[in-house]
Amino acid sequence: MSKKDQIKWNKKFSEKANLLEQREASNHLQNIINDGKGKIALDLACGAGRNTLFLAKKGFKIFALDISNIALDTVEKLVQKENVEDLVHTSLSDLDEFAPEMPLYDLIIMSNYLDRDLIQRAKVGLKKDGLFFIETYMDDINNEKKDSNPDYLLKKEELKSFFIDGYEEIFYDEFDNESYEMYRMKKQIIVVKKL
C-alpha cells in the first residue's frame, strides 16, 4: 500500500472534517439504480460512503474500498447506525494495485475520483449486463479551482473512450457539481452496460 497516498488522504479527511459529513448519494446514481440487474456492487474510492450507504439501503451487497482508514471508519459507523453492516464490506485498499480477478459485480461505481488505469483494470470485474458508473471532475474553462492537477481532470467526452467495444452507453452528461462543494467545477458522468 502506498503509505504516501494513505497519509495524504488521511490528512485531508482530518483537516477538512466536512468531507466526512454524510451527504446524499449521487443524483445520477439514484436515477439509474433500477436499470441494472443483480445486487452485488463495488464502490471504488468510497470516501465517506454516501453512495455505499445508499446502495446498502437498496439491498445491495457492496464492497467499499478506500486507501483512507479514516474514511472507512466513517463508513463503518454509518452502516452500523443504519443496520446494514451485513451488506457492506469495507477494505483498506491501494487502488493503484487493485484488479478484480473475475466478473463478480453487477454494479461498479467510481465517484469524485479519477484513475484511468483503474477504470481499465476494474472492467474485468463487471458481469455481463452489469453497469459501470463513473462520475468525476473534468477540465473546463469555468472551473473555479484553477490549481487542480490536470492529470485528475477528464477531457471533454473522455469517459466515452474507455467503453468503445463490448459496452452499451446508457447515459452520458456533463454538468455542474453539487451545490455543497467548495468550488464550482464541471463534472462528467457515464453509465455503461457490459454486453
pLDDT digits (tens, 9 = 90+) for 102-135: 889 999 999 999 999 999 999 999 999 999 999 9
Q: Which three cell numbers stand for residue 74?
A: 466513517
Domain segments of the chain: what residues? 3-194
Q: What is the CATH number of domain 3-194?
A: 3.40.50.150
- Kind plus residue range of the DSSP H or E element containing 137: strand 126-137
pTM metric for this prediction: 0.90
Residue pair 61/40 in contact by the 8 Å Cβ criterion? yes
The tens digit of pLDDT for each residue in 76-101 reads 998 999 999 999 999 999 999 899 98
Look-up of cell digits 490528512: 11
Of 55, 52, 62, 50, residue with least CA distance to 25: 50
Q: Residue 184, SS3?
A: coil
